[in-house]
Chains A and B, each alone.
Chain A
Amino acid sequence: DSGVTQTPKHLITATGQRVTLRCSPRSGDLSVYWYQQSLDQGLQFLIQYYNGEERAKGNILERFSAQQFPDLHSELNLSSLELGDSALYFCASSVAVPGAGTDTQYFGPGTRLTVL
């Protein structure tokens, strides 16, 4: 158990819909990362937040957005869903001390999204 929790575990929805994925980081971790893992794309970095602020952005679509709240939990919002958005979505957290160079990430169990 990494200490990172994600809800829900599974989500099945239809094209055009909007969903919210939730992540609670490990106690004490200020940084949250979101990743998308699909069969043909591997693990793709989406976005990172540190203590409530966006720090790094990856291949995140404009239909997707995220935020980190004052209690450090994070939500990933996916809208206008398409079939191709079906994937495993992982959240990871880390201490992310700037400049320390030891940003080990602890991954949650993931949310499996199926868009029908």
Chain B
Amino acid sequence: SQQGEEDPQALSIQEGENATMNCSYKTSINNLQWYRQNSGRGLVHLILIRSNEREKHSGRLRVTLDTSKKSSSLLITASRAADTASYFCATATSGTYKYIFGTGTRLKVLA
């Protein structure tokens, strides 16, 4: 399995609910990033959390990082239909710029 695996693969929720997706990775990292991709379009950077940070907020997004478990979670609160997209985590092994993206979580928010 590859570095940066997201779980679940797909998630369907009602508007207003919270969405949580998880990412696991394998090596030591400098930082972990989350990206969003609307169908067939380029990825958009959401948030970056450094390896010495445990939690970070940006608007309705909350990211946690547990380096001991090599895992991260992305929480989207009060979801909206516009949040429907695929979400990817990306990591780069410490000392490299070779970024590995996971296979993504497909989020569908129902109005």
Contact = CB atoms under 8 A, between A and B. Distances in A.
A68 to B, nearest CB: 14
Contacts, number: 66
Contacts of B48: 102, 104
Nearest to B98: A56
Interface stretch (B19-27, B37-45, B65-73): B37-45
Interface in A1-34: 2, 4, 31, 33
Given A56-B96, A101-B31, A104-B33, A43 B44 contact: no
Number of chain A interface residues as a range: 20 to 34
Interface stretch (B10-18, B56-64, B75-83, B101-109): B101-109
A72 B88 CA distance: 27
Nearest to A109: B42
Given A45-B101, A103-B97, A107-B43, 13 more contacts: A2-B42, A31-B97, A42-B103, A42-B104, A43-B101, A45-B99, A50-B97, A58-B98, A96-B97, A101-B51, A104-B45, A105-B33, A108-B42
**Would you list the 9 A-B pairs with minimal beta carbon distance, nearest first?**
A107-B42, A43-B101, A42-B103, A56-B98, A101-B30, A107-B43, A56-B97, A109-B42, A104-B45
Interface of A: 2, 4, 31, 33, 35, 42-45, 48, 50, 55-58, 88, 90, 92, 96, 101-110, 112
Interface of B: 2, 30-31, 33, 35, 40-45, 48, 50-51, 88, 90, 92, 96-104
30 contacts: A2-B42, A4-B42, A35-B101, A42-B101, A44-B101, A45-B99, A45-B100, A45-B101, A50-B97, A55-B97, A56-B96, A56-B97, A88-B40, A92-B43, A96-B97, A101-B50, A102-B31, A102-B50, A103-B31, A103-B99, A104-B33, A104-B45, A104-B48, A105-B33, A105-B90, A107-B43, A107-B45, A109-B42, A110-B41, A112-B40
